[in-house]
Amino acid sequence: MMAIVGSAVGLGNIWRFPYLAGMNGGAAFLLLYLGLILLVGLPMILSEFILGRATHRGAVGSFKQLAPRSRWYLVGYMGVAAGFCILGFYSVIAGWSVRFLYDAVVNAHAGLSQEEITAGFNAFKNSGWQPILLSTGFLGLTALVVFKGVEKGVERWNKILMPLLIGILLVLCVNSLTLEGFREGMTFLFRPDFSKITANTVLDALGQVFFTLSLGMGVMITYSSYVVKSENMLRSKGIVVLIDTSIAIIAGIAIFPAVFTFQINPTEGPDLIFLTLPNIFARMAGGQYVGILFFLLITIAALTSIVSIFEMMTNYLMEELKMTRRRAVWWLFGTLSVLSALCAQSQVEGSGLRIGNLNVFDLLDLLSANYLMTVGGLLIVLFVGWHISEKRLRRVFTSNGRYNNRLFPVFRFVVRYLSPVAVAVIFLSKIGLIRG
């Protein structure tokens, strides 16, 4: 359970959610996100659990076992591809948080103005080599954790660190109350302006649901293959979803009042929290220490998420390509270092590493969350809803009739009809076939 929370809670909640909410009109995005968590996120996480639990195999293996002689296993491969894209940019952001941790330790932002903080951050990104060094270092650390198989240790830490992370976010929320921009921030986050909703907003909200719950790519299938059979699945997954969603909302409450107080543009994009947080810490009593703890915690939250993807891919290389663990880890570390370096370099001002108006970093972010994970997820719910027999599905969902018997038909209806239709409609409206 803690490993699953560790995978779900990460930069997606604290970095990605606020930046996307900022770009997509705040409250309207939040509302869509919450709706889609219930309509698609929860059924989806349950579906992945059912696959892992029914087969005790990983992303590719579970499809091979349940649907031999078919091409369903390709869904597992899509997950591996998505993992590759995510690790490329996620490790760059993880590297940024290490840099901010360092800044907090040496109190580098004390007394600086908003402009100076922004200029410092831009100089860091534009140096090219600094973010590359940090993301490579972070991948090295991840490789070490996966190689040593110390996930168990990390899990144990999680139990202490996760409540601590929530505690700190709550302290920041209380601090937000004292900021001038509190009202404006709250209005932005909680009063929806429906005119802001476009097909892109809805797709971004859907992508975020998948991203934040680590869905659509078999990570949850892999993790659930270790779970004892008698657990009340609906309850435990419900708790995971609740914790994950709460952390994102609390992060929003902590950040948006500051965004308006320090007159940062909420549509800033991926830089948003890194421009906002140092200001909060620099102006808060004891801010340096809160800052150190905060960046330490999100660095660890990032590590547990990265480890979950890295582990899933290592498993795949070992099971399907018969590599040894050592070889698989080296191989992944090497290729991912190159990819993350490309991502970091593409953010340097004037870099030619772009396709159309997106740099490589933004492209991988968008491609993985909005397309690979969502299409993977759509196929997984279709598989669970239509390919697995009702009897078998009921047995796994209810732990042989022990829990949630009454809710089973609801679940089955949702995965057969509601979730796939919701995802399909979002895609069709995105490509312009349906107009809202």
Residues at the contact surface with ligand PFF, assessed by CB under 6 A = 7-8, 10-13, 86, 211-212, 214, 217, 219, 305, 308-309
Amino acid at 310: F
Nearer residue to ligand PFF within complex by CB, 179 or 332: 332
Q: Which is nearer to ligand PFF, 159 or 191 (CB)?
A: 159
Looking only at the bridges linking them, the beta strands covering 358-359 and 354-355 are antiparallel
Give the residue with the Cβ less far from ligand PFF, 219 or 423.
Answer: 219
Is the Cβ of residue 49 or residue 211 nearer to ligand PFF in the bound state?
211
For residue 391, the minimal CB distance to ligand PFF (Å) is 30
Residue 133 CB burial class (10 angstroms; 0-12, 13-18, ≥19): middle
Q: Across the strands, what pairs with 57?
A: none
Q: Cβ closer to ligand PFF: 11 or 384?
A: 11
Which pair of structure tokens corresponds to residue 396?
A: 């796994």
CA 431 vs. chain centroid, Å, equals 24
Buried b (16+ CB within 10 A) or exposed e, 142-177: bbebbbeeebeebbeebeebbeebbebbebbbebbe
On the CB side of 343, how many CA atoms lie within 13 Å of its CA? Answer: 31
Q: Which three-class secondary structure state does DSSP give residue 358? A: strand
Rounded to whole angstroms, how far apart are CA atoms 60 and 71? 11
Minimum CB distance to ligand PFF, residue 185 (Å): 22
Distances (CA, A) of 372 to 34, 98, 302, 356, 378: 21, 28, 21, 19, 10
Rounded to the nearest whole angstrom, what is the least distance from the CB of residue 252 to ligand PFF in the complex? 14
- Contact by Cβ (8 Å): 209, 216: no
Shortest CB 172 distance to ligand PFF, Å:
18
> Please, what is the minimum distance in Å from the beta carbon of residue 308 to ligand PFF?
5
Q: How far is the CB of 86 from ligand PFF (least distance, A)?
A: 6
Query: Which one, 117 or 306, has the nearer CB to ligand PFF?
Result: 306
Please, which residue, 117 or 247, has the CB nearer to ligand PFF? 247
Q: Helices 27-36 and 182-190: crossing angle, nearest 10°?
A: 40
Report, in Å, the least distance between residue 192 CB and ligand PFF.
Answer: 23
- Closest distance of CB 217 from ligand PFF, Å: 5
Residue among 39 and 219 whose Cβ is closer to ligand PFF: 219
- Closer to ligand PFF at the Cβ: 86 or 275? 86
| Dist. CA 40–CA 210, nearest whole Å | 9
List of E strands, 302-359: 354-355, 358-359
Residue of minimal CB distance from ligand PFF? 12
As measured in angstroms, the least distance from the Cβ of 240 to ligand PFF is 11
From residue 131, alpha-carbon distances to 99, 125, 135, 138, 368 in Å are 8, 6, 6, 10, 21
Q: Angle CA(172)–CA(208)–CA(22) in degrees, nearest 5?
A: 50
Q: How far is the CB of 120 from ligand PFF (least distance, A)?
A: 25
Which residue lies nearer to ligand PFF by CB, 305 or 340? 305
What is the smallest separation between the CB atom of 278 and ligand PFF, expressed in angstroms?
A: 21
**Cα 276 to chain center, whole Å?**
20
Cβ distance to ligand PFF smaller for residue 120 or 238: 238
DSSP string, 65-80: HHSTTSSTTHHHHHHH
Of 373, 319, 237, 236, nearest to 58 by C-alpha is 319
Q: Letter for the amino acid at 397?
A: F
